[in-house]
Amino acid sequence: MSTAVLSPDFLWGFATASYQIEGAPHQDGRGPSIWDTFCKIPGKIADGSSGDVACDSYNKSADDIALLKETGAKAYRFSLSWSRVIPLGGREDPVNEKGLGFYVKFVDDLLAAGITPLVTLFHWDLPDNLDKRYGGLLNKKEFVADYTNYARVVFKAMGPKVKHWITFNEPWCSSILGYSTGLFAPGHTSDRSKSKVGDSSREPWIVGHNLLLAHGSAVKVYRDEFKSKDGGEIGITLNGDWVYPWDAEDPKDVEACERKLEFSISWFADPVYFGHYPASMVSQLGDRLPTWTEEEKALVKGSNDFYGMNHYTANYIKHRTGTPEPEDYLGNLESLYESKKGEIIGPDTQSFWLKPNPLGFRKLMKWISDRYGKPKIYVTENGTSLKGENDLPMEKILEDDFRLKYYQDYTQAMADAVSKDGVDCRGYMAWSLLDNFEWAEGYETRFGVTYVDYTGGQKRYPKKSAKEIHKCFDALIKKA
């Protein structure tokens, strides 16, 4: 029997992202994002699809709110499409009032339904024009200025209605998948069989630095111009997997575990909390890792009111010997699913990278809490795909016991982190409310608690997990 340990005002609900659910790429003046462009390149998306229709949430926002109410959710994390708000993206470019108005009305509708909005300003869909105009995320001066302007436009439009702001979702993915492996838009990589442009040894570190500066700049604007009258809070969302040594007896594998966390999480969190990059990254990357000016350091250090935590899985870590490759981004190590003794991280899912390991969630929450001085944490994404789910008949898809068990196990692990490890966790957003466009995997992978019939007018059918997840929180949240 679960013990109620979470605070009475604990926020739980679901998360989505604009390009993954909205569709309506040209409606009401939206401009293209780098993902609209990337999806048109043959071979980039597993099933050759795009987010052109997705869940059609731009036209079905009332359906999404009805679903949220049905689940009992207290909160909803969603992202804004920058190119819907400012189609050309830049600070001198016109604001699209219809696009901005859509989001303002959506926030009003959520509040009217008793649901707290958590708004992500950037979930990977950079206006394509900014990529073409000046190189997008690679251009420090222009990108930081344009993003700051966009953030200010949104803060002003929303005012006190939104109390929880997220600047960037998973900058690691924008940097590494966008500019090292080339798996995500804009697809830069040193591998010339995949892209004509890119330098995997340098570009991701430049992009990461610029994202941190844009984050710090937007936070400064919010704190200086809006926070005192609007009363909200602002932070960044970082992704990270837990780590176990491949050989628990080998101190070099144990050491490599810490390095893996530093290369994935601390790359962004150390500058935000301490004002510098982790020593392990400085040591390996040398002059390829940008240096901090005093002004930049002052902008970024202390720029989180909360820590946004996206988490799904864990890995076994095996150290590597010798000099790391110039394009290495892990920290000179291997990330594996099986230990030296043959233990596996967890059962298979549809996503090759995701194997459920709830204990890893608790351990990572404690690691983050210990390293960064017990910050307030919102779990901004957590969830699973289900092996072969897309190939099942609909009635079987709706009985998603595997996903429900994932949520039961992971929410209990979170509660243990709070009650046994002293972690300050204030919210949990399950990924995702809806089956949606799963980036390079297209529509073959489903993460939703709601089945979306992509060939039947995007009709929504709640799965078992949608109907039962509230029980996890009913048991874990203290009564007021």
Q: What does residue 333 show for φ and ψ, rounded to 5 degrees? A: -155, 170
Among 281, 88, 121, 95, residue whose Cα is nearest residue 215: 121
**H helix and E strand count, the chain:** 19, 13
End-to-end CA distance of the chain: 20
Instruction: Let me know: does 157 contact 230? Beta carbons within 8 Å.
Output: no
Distance between CA atoms of 174 and 155, rounded to whole angstroms?
A: 23
Rounded to two decimals, what is the model's pTM? 0.99
What's at 271, amino acid-wise?
P
User: Which residues, including other chains, have CB under 8 Å from residue 167's CB and lie 6 or more apart?
Assistant: 121, 122, 151, 214, 215, 218, 219, 234, 235, 236
Catalytic position from the list 142, 203, 381, 389: 381
Q: What does residue 14 show for φ and ψ, rounded to 5 degrees? A: -135, 165
Neighbours of 65 (CB within 10 A): 18
Distance between CA atoms of 158 and 142, rounded to whole angstroms?
A: 25
Catalytic position from the list 170, 389, 441, 468: 170
Question: In tens digits, what is the pLDDT along the chain, a chain of 480 residues?
Answer: 689 999 999 999 999 999 999 999 999 999 999 999 999 999 999 999 999 999 999 999 999 999 999 999 999 999 999 999 999 999 999 999 999 999 999 999 999 999 999 999 999 999 999 999 999 999 999 999 999 999 999 999 999 999 999 999 999 999 999 999 999 999 999 999 999 999 999 999 999 999 999 999 999 999 999 999 999 999 999 999 999 999 999 999 999 999 999 999 999 999 999 999 999 999 999 999 999 999 999 999 999 999 999 999 999 999 999 999 999 999 999 999 999 999 999 999 999 999 999 999 999 999 999 999 999 999 999 999 999 999 999 999 999 999 999 999 999 999 999 999 999 999 999 999 999 999 999 999 999 999 999 999 999 999 999 999 999 999 999 998
Centroid of chain to Cα 276: 22
* CB-based contacts of 321-328 (< 8 A; 24+ apart in sequence): 324/284, 326/200, 326/201, 326/288, 327/180, 327/190, 327/200, 327/201, 328/284
Has 334 been annotated as catalytic? no
Has 381 been annotated as catalytic? yes
What's at 140, amino acid-wise?
K
